[in-house]
Amino acid sequence: MTTEIKVDHVSLRLGDQNALSDLSFQLKGDKIYGLLGRNGAGKTSLLSLLASFREPTEGTVLINGERPFENQRVMNNVNFIYAKNQNDESETVKGMLEFAERYRPEWDAEYASKLVKRFKLPMDQKVKALSKGKQSALDVVIGLASRTPVTIFDEAYLGMDAPARSVFYEELIKDYAEHPRCIILSTHLISEVASLLEEVVIIDQGKLLVHEPVDILMAHGLSITGPAETVNRLTSDLRVLKQQQLGRTKSVMIYGQLESLRLSELERSGLELGPIGLQELFIYLTEHEGDGE
C-alpha cells in the first residue's frame, strides 16, 4: 500500500510559542520528500506529529486515514530518525541492530550488515563510545535497513562527514528504487539532497510556504540579467525575489509561472536567462525583512 499523509489545518502550541499555525497539505504516494525551513520554522514540530510524539493543538494529522497519536498500528509504520544525545547509551552497535530487527518487521539483516561495513561501524563497541559521526551513521543504518513504510530522517546525518553523507545519499536512492516507500528528509544541506527529492514542502514561521514537485518549483525560478533599463521594463510586473546591479547591468531573480510567449520576449530582448538552484530559491523565498541586519 502506498502512503498518504494528510495534514489538515494543523496548529501546534509549545509553551508560549505557535510552533505550527493552520498548516494544511497532503503527501500522496511513495516518494522522497524534502521538508525545508529556516531554523525554528517548525520542521521538527511537524515531524513529531507524524511520528506520534505529540498531538496537534488544533486540526488533524492522518497517516493512511488514521491519527498517529498513541496509535500502535501507525507507530509501527513510521520510523523517525533524528539526532539525539546518545552519550549514555551503553548498548553496543550489535545490540542496537538486534533491537531494531525485533521491532521492525521489514528489517533486512543482510542489507544492515552491508551498510555496517560501508560505514565501518565497530559491531562490539558501545554506542556512547562512538564518535558523533559514527552514532549518526548507526542511526542511518537503522533507518535504511528497517524499510519502514514512512521513514523520516530529521537532520539525522548531520554529524557525518561529507564522504559518509555521500554513501548515505547513494544507498538511499538505490534502496528506494528497489523498495519504494515514503521517505521524508528534513535538512539544511539543500544542495546536497536537491537531486534526490521529488517533492518539496517549505514551511516558514510555522506556516506552509510552498508545496510543489521539485521540477515545477525549479521551473518557477528564473534569473534574468541584462541592461538595467531593459530588465526593469520587462520584469516590473513579476515577483522579484532578489536584485543586484553592477554599473548598468542588472540581475534579478524572479519567481512565478511565465508563459512561453513571455519567455521568448525576454530572450528576444537580449536578456540572459538562467535557472536558480533549489538552495538559492529557498534562501530568497524564506528571506524576511531585517534578515542579515
Which residue ranges make up the site for ligand ATP (CB under 6 A)?
14-15, 17, 19, 37, 39-45
DSSP for 196-219, written as a single string: G-SEEEEEETTEEEEEEEHHHHHH
Cα separation, 185 vs 192, whole angstroms: 11
Instruction: Find the shortest distance in angstroms from Cβ 134 to ligand ATP.
Output: 22
Q: Tell me if 195 sits within 8 A of 165, measured CB to CB.
A: no
User: Packing angle between helix 132-146 and helix 109-118, nearest 10 degrees?
Assistant: 150
41 versus 127: smaller Cβ distance to ligand ATP:
41
Instruction: Find the shortest distance in angstroms from Cβ 41 to ligand ATP.
Output: 4
Instruction: Find the shortest distance in angstroms from Cβ 69 to ligand ATP.
Output: 16
The DSSP element (H or E) to which 246 belongs, if any, is strand 240-246
CA-to-CA separations, 32 to 150, 175, 181, 195, in angstroms, rounded: 10, 12, 8, 10
48 versus 251: smaller Cβ distance to ligand ATP:
48
82 versus 107: smaller Cβ distance to ligand ATP:
82
7 versus 93: smaller Cβ distance to ligand ATP:
7
Q: What type of residue is 256?
A: G
Q: Which long-range contacts (CB under 8 A, 24 or more apart) does 126-134 make?
A: 126/89, 126/90, 126/91, 126/92, 127/86, 127/89, 127/90, 127/91, 127/92, 127/93, 127/96, 128/86, 128/87, 128/88, 128/89, 128/90, 130/86, 130/93, 131/159, 132/159, 133/159, 133/160, 133/161, 133/164
Instruction: Find the shortest distance in angstroms from Cβ 158 to ligand ATP.
Output: 10
54 versus 250: smaller Cβ distance to ligand ATP:
54
42 versus 226: smaller Cβ distance to ligand ATP:
42
39 versus 236: smaller Cβ distance to ligand ATP:
39
